[in-house]
Structure 1
Amino acid sequence: MLDDTDRRILRLFQADPSISTAELAERAGVSAGACWRRLEKLRSTGVIKGVEAVIDWRALGYEVEVSLRVVLDKTVPRAFEDFSAAAREVPEVLEIQSFLGRVDLRLSLIARDMPHYQQLYRDRILTLPHIVDIEALMHVARIQSQGTLPI
């Protein structure tokens, strides 16, 4: 279980993952060695999975974001595996989520513009295996994007 010091370290680290261990330790009110050991324990137990760069894909010229809700043919034994493997090969697919219910999967897809999206949709998405139904939801605005956890 996490104690108050672990939670304090996680809150500070989550707010600024580029912070040095020494600075993190100072802000958390622990020694640098104790902070390093706690971070290592949090990593080894899987609480901290990694640190990643967040790249603004709009700055790279992608202006269209679409959510695709996909229903697969459940009579095909490997439909999920085949579809997921093929969808991973489409570079513009940023995320694949699976669901229980009427919708089986959701793809998050980006495109440079509408003609690029239409080309991707026709040439890459509609050719993915085992699709029974697909619904496109055009992203209009991000209302909230909370990247931090309430620790």
Structure 2
Amino acid sequence: MLTKQEAAAAVRAAKARLGVSWAQLGEAVGRPVAWTTAALLGQHPMSEPEARAAADVLELGDDVVQALLLQPTRGALGAAVPVDPTMYRFYEVLQVYGPTIKELIHEKFGDGIMSAINFRLDVQRVPDPAGDRVVVTLDGKFLPYQW
């Protein structure tokens, strides 16, 4: 049986070989593109119809389908501090703005957190005369602490 990481590698290889986009896979699976991408990279379990739809588009076998059904170990990047420049910049953003985000959430909502379970993510490219902008929207439900 393949691991989720091995299945993710097979997905990425097939995606590149076939020229399929993450958006096309999201459409085939019937889920948002960010959720589908995370699932195919091993961060969410998929239902059998979802896994089968992705595997069909990517011309992958039952071994990949079975791996996509497994429960993941979420957040498993392999290193405490990501070294990939794109991921590291998010780490850097949280180092600089994390305390500010926390303060603003507490000021606007009270004592609690933003859920990463009840969560939506969107990535957009926005044209700008000084160079295109990356707009990342993190949309999580507020969960108050209960004492």
TM-score category of the 2 structures, normalised to the smaller one? under 0.3
Give the alignment's TM-score, normalised by structure 1.
0.27
Between structures 1 and 2, the one with greater helix share? 2
Indicate the structure whose relative CO is greater, using CA pairs within 8 Å and at least 6 residues apart.
1
Give the alignment's TM-score, normalised by structure 2.
0.28
Which one has the largest radius of gyration? Answer: 1
